[in-house]
């Protein structure tokens, strides 16, 4: 289910009433919607404001209290344990996964070379689902080849159901929701999702214990799950249920936002083709088809700027919220305990006070600003509760986009496609993300 209009309505509040708006959400509940960087600066860096708002509870039957939804001591302990698992060396191991799945995506796009308008979002979403399953669980669900599988459908159903709950007032209450068709559908989807995760966890654990007993190294690329299992086996207080929660959390947090980010980047590339392949040609020379290395990715500085500008205009997480658990003095007033503050990144990034001519797509605005925009540019949030998968996402995006740009020239769709931006937990376009492809010479990159 797609909820149209929420984003436009919230933007209109900001445009009409100023950069911070107080909204009554119940007899005793208030929400502060803001695109003023001072509130981001106040909340994001401090440990005392890491409590998420109640909307996140709708994820809990699926994700339990994994990193995205947990609070307090549990969140702090897990964040400490999980941060090293996203180390750069591990990301290098994942390049092969990014590469093999990008190749499947490219083959899908090749089937559409004669089409003047292709909606790329669905294809990209299946690709990022394959990538996250393989990197997190170490096994592929082959979503790109089998998009009708029970697992893929259940992921989709859960996202639809959660979105429906967040924006449908009567479904906010469990005692009403439990009598709806959605609840039955959720029950079925969760059975499939959880049993898949448990199955993988159990199989990989046996593999590890076996190898340990024989005193040999497991000869396969390590998935994030394996690192968590090592912690469990070494007695570092991460139970199997906690591991299940984290694996499902990465699955959810790691595929949908990345699909949104890659799709919008490809759309922007198609509509700003000026320098699409120049940088790739400089890096790959006459061997346009070879695998990408982490050194190549580091050299893609123009692609970096391009992605930054795409995420400014189309932040996959358009808003995220915190709930205050004590009164907070702010600019001569008190922000009361219980207040939900919704940090509206989509509006922050379009605030002309911070980004002149905000609607203009201009990657060069990010040249020479590294480190100078801590609280006005926040696609990955900031501070202790920022996106733990930030670097993972950027490496994945660059790998996939590089492979696509080296295979095709990306062009605007015919007829011209205008995005209809909306929020479906992540930012999407309700009428699809449409572009056109023209094949390049695989050795030289010419079209
Ligand atoms: C372009 C892609 C991505 C974007 C734009 C993005 C954005 C974000 C944002 C804005 C948050 C903060 C949410 C909040 O405060 O409620 C977040 C949190 C999180 N993200 Fe990402 N994310 C992306 C990709 C990923 C990937 C690939 C992974 C995992 C592999 C991931 C895992 C997480 C987790 C676990 C959290 C919760 C962290 C915590 O609360 O400690 N994300 N992400």
Band of residue 413 on the pLDDT scale cut at 50, 70, 90:
very high
Residue 446 in domain: no
Number of Cβ within a 10 Å radius of residue 8: 12
Cis peptide before 415 (omega within 30 of 0): yes
The DSSP-derived string for 385-425 is: GS-TTHHHHHHHHHHHHHHHHHHEEEEE-SS-----EEEES
pLDDT tens digits along 119-147: 999 999 999 999 999 999 888 888 898 88
Q: How far is the centre of ligand 1, averaged over its atoms, from the C-alpha of 316 (Å)?
A: 10
- Residue 447 pLDDT exceeds 70: no
Atom of ligand 1 nearest to the CA of 246: 35
**For ligand 1, mutation pick of 97, 138, 245, 253 (most atoms within 8 Å of CB):** 253
Of the chain, the percentage scoring pLDDT greater than 70 comes to 94
- Among candidates 94, 169, 139, which has minimal Cα distance to 391? 94
Task: Kindly report the CATH number assigned to the domain that includes residue 291.
Answer: 1.10.630.10
H/E run at residue 340: strand 340-343
Question: Band of the pLDDT at 371, cuts 50, 70, 90?
Answer: low
Domain count, the chain: 1
Does residue 249 belong to any structural domain of this protein? yes
* Pocket perturbation via mutation, ligand 1, pick of 101, 257, 266, 401 by most ligand atoms within 8 A of CB: 257
Q: Establish if 174 belongs to a structural domain.
A: yes
Q: Is residue 1 part of a domain?
A: no
Residue whose Cα lies nearest atom 9 of ligand 1: it is 380
Domain assignment present for residue 445? The answer is no
* Any domain includes 447: no
Q: How many A from CA of 393 to the centre of ligand 1?
A: 9
Q: Which atom of ligand 1 is nearest to the CA of 68?
A: 37
Tens digits of per-residue pLDDT, 57-115?
A: 889 999 999 999 999 999 999 999 888 888 767 788 899 999 999 999 999 999 999 99
Q: Which of 173-187, 207-221, 412-426 is predicted least confidently? A: 207-221
Give the pairing type, strands 30-34 and 340-343: parallel
Q: CB under 8 Å to 278, separation ≥6 — which residues?
A: 302
pLDDT band at 341 (very low <50, low <70, confident <90, very high): very high
Q: Is 387 annotated as a binding residue?
A: yes
Measure the CA–CA gap between 117 and 336, rounded to whole angstroms: 50
Q: Ligand 1, atom 10: nearest CA belongs to which residue? A: 380
Range of the domain at 102: 6-439
Ligand 1 site, CB within 6 A: 52, 67-68, 79, 249-250, 253-254, 257-258, 261, 316-317, 320, 379-381, 385, 387-389, 392-393
């Amino acid at each position: 289910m797609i909820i149209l209009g929420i984003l436009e309505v919230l933007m209109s509040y900001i445009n009409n009433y100023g950069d911070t708006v107080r909204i009554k959400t119940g007899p005793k509940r208030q929400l502060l919607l803001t695109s003023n960087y001072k509130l981001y600066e106040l909340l994001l860096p401090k440990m005392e404001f890491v409590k998420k708002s109640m909307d996140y509870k709708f994820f809990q039957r699926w994700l339990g209290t994994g990193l995205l939804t947990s609070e307090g001591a549990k969140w702090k302990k897990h964040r400490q344990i999980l941060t090293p698992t996203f180390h750069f060396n591990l990301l290098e191991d994942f390049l092969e996964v990014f590469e093999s799945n990008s190749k499947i995506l490219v083959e899908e796009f090749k089937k559409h070379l004669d089409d003047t308008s292709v909606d790329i979002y669905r294809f990209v979403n299946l690709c990022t689902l394959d990538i996250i399953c393989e990197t997190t669980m170490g096994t592929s669900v082959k979503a790109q080849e089998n998009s009708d599988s029970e697992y893929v459908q259940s992921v989709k159903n859960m996202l639809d159901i959660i979105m429906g709950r967040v924006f449908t007032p009567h479904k906010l209450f469990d005692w009403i929701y439990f009598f709806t068709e959605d609840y039955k559908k959720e029950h079925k989807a969760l059975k499939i999702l959880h049993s898949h995760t448990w199955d993988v966890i159990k199989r990989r654990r046996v593999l590890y214990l076996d190898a340990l007993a024989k005193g040999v190294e497991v000869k396969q690329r390590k998935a994030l799950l394996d690192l968590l299992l090592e912690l469990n086996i070494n007695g570092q207080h991460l139970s199997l249920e906690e591991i299940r929660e984290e694996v499902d959390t990465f699955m959810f947090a790691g595929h949908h936002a990345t699909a949104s980010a890659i799709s919008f980047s490809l759309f922007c590339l198609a509509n700003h083709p000026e320098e699409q392949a120049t940088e790739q040609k400089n890096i790959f020379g006459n061997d346009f088809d070879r695998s990408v290395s982490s050194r190549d990715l580091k050299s893609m500085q123009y692609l970096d700027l391009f992605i930054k500008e795409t995420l400014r205009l189309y932040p996959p997480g358009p808003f995220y919220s915190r709930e205050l658990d004590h009164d907070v003095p702010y600019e001569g007033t008190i922000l009361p305990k219980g207040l939900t503050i919704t940090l509206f990144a989509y509006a922050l990034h379009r605030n002309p006070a911070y980004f002149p001519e905000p609607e203009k797509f201009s990657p060069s605005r990010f040249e020479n600003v590294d480190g100078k925009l801590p609280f006005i540019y926040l696609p990955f949030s900031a501070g202790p509760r920022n996106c733990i998968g930030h670097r993972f996402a950027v490496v994945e995006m660059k790998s996939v986009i590089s492979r696509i740009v080296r295979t095709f020239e990306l062009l605007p769709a015919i007829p011209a496609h205008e995005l209809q931006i909306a929020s479906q937990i992540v930012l999407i376009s309700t009428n699809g993300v449409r572009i056109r492809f023209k094949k390049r010479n695989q050795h030289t990159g010419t079209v």
